[in-house]
Amino acid sequence: MGESVAASAGPEGPGTGPVTGPETGWIPDFHVFSEPRVLVESDPDGGWLVRSGTPLPAYVPLLTRHVFAWAERAPDRPFLRQRGGGGAWRGVTYGEAAESLRRIGAALLAMGLGPERPVAVLSGNTVEHALIGLAAQAVGVPYAAVSPAYSLADTSLGKLRHVLAKLTPGLLHVDRAAPFAAALALDEASGAAVFATDPAGVERARPFADLLAAPAGAATEAAMGGVDPDAPAKILFTSGSTGMPKGVVATHRMMAAAQEQVAEAWPFLRHEPPVLLDWLPWNHVFGSSKNLNMILRHGGTMWIDDGRPVPGGFERTLENLREVSPTISFNVPKGYELLIPRLEEDASLAHAFFARLRIMFYAGAALAPPLWRRLEALAAAHGPKDGVHMVSSWGLTETAPSISMVHAARAAVGCVGTPLPAVEIRLLPDGDKLEARVRGPNVTPGYWRDPEATAAAFDERGFFRTGDALRWVDPANPAAGFIFDGRLTEDFKLSTGTRVNAGAIKIRALSALAPWVRDLLVVGENREEIGLLLVPHHHGLAELDTPALAEGVAAALRPLNEGAPSSRRIARALFLREPPSLAAGEITDKGSLNLRAILRRRPEAMERLFADDPEVIRP
């Protein structure tokens, strides 16, 4: 309470250096990364306590204040841009955004919204979505971005009912009302006012423009000045591996701390306002708490990519890339897999992509070494003279999101970096793995209206139980960082008692099977052998029945088994003939497979896999 923007090394604070608009391009003469400093001490209960040797500087604990600071400093700089109906780019500057936040905030307060009646957005990334979410946070009203799949892909609407019942929202926003008509008609939505950028098709929906109608007054300014940094700012619903989504509480201070941690690791952000062309959805922590917040913290520009790294959606991304040259590229490995051949065959596209690129960031899965090498070759041919760095990080929805991050010019393939400032990682032996627990200012206080889940999430010393395992890149050199070693819940034991590192096997198998498989499950608990359940790129039964497909998969897996012990030897594989179902909980809204749900719903698949079924593929 009471901190001002001038108190931090931010847009109005010391240490910022020359700030140029995103349109001015690339600044060559400063360090991209800070030097990793890692401190390690023994944990009294065994294992280690690992933390950064770099302190976290003072910071403004309310991120929305940066919007108003940039509005004063660079009012005409573009903040948010998206494609309009005719294909032209539209959006708001920082000056326009600040005024919109004040007006929308006043409207939310006039409707009596607050912690008991938050704001929920059911549709995807748009300028209006961002303005409503930020306005809510600015006046102390919690905001939740809900996966559009809960409304549009799940015909039962079961997850949406659960989320709305947990939230009790006072306002619901959608981009276009008509596709969300069934969702907005739910009993759980009946107590909320509905606003839409295009309200046609839902009688009670009001136009978004109504939220901008009245100017803000003294009451709005007072509310903005009285926001508690430790109060919930955002609720992010995470699918988890079982059950219904849990609402992760992100406080204002959490998200602000997370941005300062990243800026300490990547100091170029304080000198060069970032430019992103980004599709990552705001109902996920990376798209919103990482990327959107990074933009507003450092006065950058977010170009909303309406493409996706999927067949039929990627052409739009390529079209956008020809017009927008980012300074950082955030993507999942599948996105880079689709992008690489297009960059290799189109020099003009490659030039646009690499023109001022500093960092290529991947997350969500490991980047296969062949893709890494091809990206390095492209960067060397088309990138800036000082090079483009390939980095990753490790984190969770509950950590806003990063815990560790690569901030070194050369890092090992698969490295997820070193602890960020003020983060403590507790590594505890769990068999042949190291369980990772975490504590720091960017860690959630718990789950929304779920005290039991909150209590279970923390250990006796206040460390959050991540459920993840890490291993050292080089045990003799902690500054070399960690490698993600899988989810502890994914591992299992064969009937022989041999422990199987399912995460490591999945990474290797996915890389080998990329031409045929878009995802897979590693299974075999209490069985004699390891098996794979495969999800093909397309579920055409005729294609799955071809001998050539089976032989291709078998041939690709054989090299993985050469010299491998039983803990790594893949003995059999089987294609799932029915696509995973979001409605049945087999696939999360992030697109990842839910192992437990699939095994529970398809026991026959496991029986076929471990029997002499003619469709079983044996490497």
> Which helix (DSSP H) or strand (DSSP E) does residue 551 occupy?
helix 547-561
Least confident residue range of 237-246, 457-466, 483-492: 237-246
Distance CA 34, CA 442 (A): 20
Proportion of the chain above pLDDT 70, given as a percent: 93
Report whether pLDDT(145) > 80: yes
pLDDT band at 577, cuts 50/70/90? confident
Is residue 250 within 8 Å of residue 400, measured between CB atoms?
yes
Res 363: pLDDT: 82
Q: What is the pTM of this model?
A: 0.86
Q: Is residue 247 predicted with pLDDT exceeding 70? A: yes
CA gap 19, 12 in Å, rounded: 11
Residue spans of the domains in the chain: they are 20-56+252-490, 62-228, 493-609
Residue 617 has pLDDT above 70, yes or no: yes
What is the tens place of the pLDDT at every residue in 47-73?
999 999 999 999 999 999 999 999 999
Confidence at residue 475, expressed as pLDDT on a 0 to 100 scale: 93
Residues 92 and 109 sit within 8 Å (Cβ to Cβ): no
Residue 438 falls in which region: left (phi positive, over 0), alpha (psi -120 to 50) or beta: beta
Close Cβ partners of 198 (under 8 Å, ≥ 6 residues apart): 175, 176, 177, 178
Q: For residue 491, name the pLDDT band (cuts at 50, 70, 90).
A: confident
Q: What is the pLDDT of residue 591?
A: 66
Q: Are 315 and 82 in contact (CB under 8 A)?
A: no
| Count of CB atoms situated within 10 Å of the CB of 577 | 14
In this predicted structure, which of 308-312, 326-330, 613-617 has the lowest mean pLDDT?
308-312
24 band by pLDDT with thresholds 50, 70 and 90: very low
**Mean pLDDT of the region 108-130:** 98
Q: What is the mean pLDDT of residues 475-499?
A: 88
Indicate the SS3 state at residue 410: coil
Find which of 39-43, 494-498, 507-511 is predicted with most confidence, using mean pLDDT. Answer: 39-43
| Fold annotation for 62-228 | Rossmann fold (3.40.50)
How high is the pLDDT of residue 413? 80
Domain 493-609: which CATH number of 3.40.190.10, 3.30.465.10, 3.30.300.30, 3.40.50.2300:
3.30.300.30
pLDDT at 546 over 70: yes
Which token pair is 6? Answer: 């001038």
**What is residue 13's predicted lDDT score, i.e. its pLDDT?**
31
Quote the CA–CA distance of 150 and 129 in Å, as a whole number. 17
Residue 4's pLDDT is what? 29
Whether residue 55 contacts residue 421, with contact meaning beta carbons closer than 8 Å, is answered with yes
* C-alpha distances out from residue 286 to 294, 331, 407, 425, 617, Å: 10, 10, 18, 20, 37
Task: Check residue 243 and give its pLDDT.
Answer: 67
Average pLDDT, the chain: 90
User: Mutual orientation of helices 218-225 and 94-110 as an angle, nearest 10°?
Assistant: 100
pLDDT of residue 193: 98
Place of tokens 């403590």: 424
| φ/ψ of residue 393, rounded to 5 | -155, 175
Outline where 23-143 has alpha helix (H): 64-73, 94-110, 127-138
Predicted pLDDT of residue 203: 97
Burial 71-96 (b: 16+ CB within 10 A, else e): beebeebbbbbbbeeeeeeebbbbbb
Q: Strands 530-536 and 482-487, how do they pair?
A: unpaired
The least confident of 79-93, 166-180, 472-486, 526-540 is 526-540
Where does the pLDDT of residue 540 fall: very low under 50, low under 70, confident under 90, or very high at 90 and above? low
Which of 25, 107, 30 has the alpha carbon at shortest distance from 355? Answer: 25
pLDDT, mean of residues 256-281: 96
As given in the structure block, the two tokens for residue 217 are: 């007054």
Residue with tokens 């991120």: 63
Instruction: Give CA–CA dist 271/9, Å, rounded.
Output: 11
% of the chain with per-residue pLDDT over 90: 73
Correct CATH for 20-56+252-490 of 3.90.1150.10, 3.40.50.12780, 3.30.70.600, 3.40.50.970: 3.40.50.12780
* Strand partners for 171: 119, 193
To the nearest 10 degrees (0 to 180), the angle between helices 333-345 and 314-321 is 60
**Residue among 577, 572, 507 at smallest CA distance from 541:** 577
Over residues 78-115, the pLDDT tens digits come to 999 999 988 999 999 999 999 999 999 999 999 999 99
Task: Give the angle subtended at the CA of 584 by the CAs of 313 and 285, to the nearest 5°.
Answer: 55
> Interhelix angle for 347-354 vs 333-345, to 10°?
130
User: Is residue 29 predicted with pLDDT exceeding 50?
Assistant: no
* One-letter amino acid for residue 533 of the chain: L
Say if residue 236's pLDDT is above 50.
yes
Q: For the residues of 204-262, what is the DSSP string, one character each?
A: TEEEGGGGGSS---HHHHHHHHT--TTSEEEEEEE--SSSS-EEEEEEHHHHHHHHHHH
What are the b/e assignments for 188-219, b being 16+ CB within 10 Å? bbeebbbbbbbbeebeebeebeebbeeebeee
Q: What number is the average pLDDT over the span 132-144?
A: 98
pLDDT tens readout for residues 386-409: 889 999 999 999 999 999 999 988
Lowest mean pLDDT among 174-178, 224-228, 335-339: 335-339
Q: Are 296 and 67 in contact (CB under 8 A)?
A: yes
Q: Classify residue 29 as exposed, middle or buried by CB count within 10 Å of its CB (0-12, 13-18, 19+).
A: exposed
Least confident of 74-78, 326-330, 339-343, 545-549: 545-549
| Least confident span in 18-22, 255-259, 353-357 | 18-22
**φ and ψ of 188, to 5 deg:** -65, -15
Which of the 8 DSSP states describes residue 367? P
Nearest to 164 by CA among 187, 140, 135, 133: 187
Longest dimension (CA), the chain: 75
Residue 456, Cβ neighbours under 10 Å: how many? 12
Query: Is the per-residue pLDDT at 141 higher than 80?
Result: yes
Tell me, what's the pLDDT at 16?
29
Between strands 171-176 and 119-121, the pairing is parallel
What are 458's two structure tokens? 């923390």
Equal fold, 20-56+252-490 vs 62-228: yes
Residue 255 corresponds to which amino acid? Answer: M
Q: How far is CA 241 from CA 69, 160, 456, in A?
A: 41, 17, 16
pLDDT exceeds 90 at position 322: yes
- Binned at pLDDT 50, 70 and 90, residue 27 comes out as very low
